[in-house]
Amino acid sequence: MTQGLSRWFWGEGVSLLALARLARLRGQGPHPVVVEHIDPHIRTHPTLEHVNNLAPGAALAELLRIEHDADRRALLEAGLDWYATAPEATRAPNGALEHWPGGVWADTVYMAGEFLLRAGEVLGRPELVAEAREQWLAHAQVLQDPVSGLFAHGTHQGERVPCHWGRANAWIALAGADLVAAGADPSGEITERLESQLAALARHQPDHGVWDVLVDDQPETRGILETSAAAGLGAAALRLAVLDPAARTQVRELGERAVLGALAYVEDSYLTRVSAGTVLQLIPFGYSVIRDDRPQPWGQGLALEAIAAWRETSPAPGTTNPNETDETDETDETDETGDLA
């Protein structure tokens, strides 16, 4: 807010959803920053022209979860109408919502998926939750490497570009963990794909917890640490560890290392070493831009996601760890305005 970011767009949306999560965990009611950002857009609806415009709708849905409001609901419905009917909302041959015409990106699963999931829950429309699940799976079919389990950032001219960008993997993992938590994974395919992804990430994770900007040890970006991916992946891993006992220990350890490693880079209340708003890159080194000249709002949002997930999944002092079993007890080319995720 001190940067004057008031748009109905993705960087703001990531931060608003994280703030809404934290407020709910703390029993505080609607977070004042969330209300202050959203309500002006209710009075004058924003222009919806890109999938990234759906991202703030997830926090809007969280406000409606607390209290029904006809004007806020109208804005939520406007987002759903754009998703269903807008000519800009193009689909790939397998039904995946494209980030740009001809390109399927991992970012979309978070920007649109979190919105669809929460809108479906608060409006009592299970078909929207099902659509969020189908979008996640459609994107995974296109973007997940069947050998490594890692996710590529996106496709170009119908081909997956083999750049396993950290924040792309975080968007996918966060959205997937939320779907599993919502009971929207009846077949178990989301869980299976997330386990494959996180197992691969564990093999590449350094002891300090923070991956390079590309998470598979690419020589072109080796040593270029990036914190927002670690914060988001750590949050997703902590949440999944609670939901999936079979993978609990390894996934929990990965999540703890990633969250603590990322938050070690908080300086003056801001997460540092965050990569800039980044379009799909065709070569690995294209992902190397780190922006510390000013706070990156998506980085702050993902840092808040990490804090929220830690609070959700860690026991209060003096209580038993809910993640331990009884047996354990016994023994983007950068865009200056941040327009692109």
CB 15 within 8 A of CB 297: yes
Length of the chain, in residues: 341
- Catalytic-role residue among 107, 178, 212, 332: 107
Spatial CA neighbour of 153 closest among 172, 134, 136, 175 = 172
Decide if 107 is catalytic: yes
Spatial CA neighbour of 338 closest among 300, 290, 302, 297 = 297
Question: Rounded CA gap, 197 and 189, in Å?
Answer: 12
> In sequence order, what are the beta bridge partners of 57?
none
Residues whose CB is less than 8 angstroms from the CB of residue 32 and which lie 6 or more positions away in sequence, other chains included: none
Number of helices followed by number of strands (H, E) in the chain? 13, 6
Q: Are strands 159-160 and 155-156 parallel, antiparallel or unpaired?
A: antiparallel
Question: Rounded CA gap, 239 and 177, in Å?
Answer: 6
What is the sign of the dihedral through the CA atoms of 25, 26, 27 and 32? negative
Question: Rounded CA gap, 230 and 165, in Å?
Answer: 11
Which residues are marked as active site?
A: 107
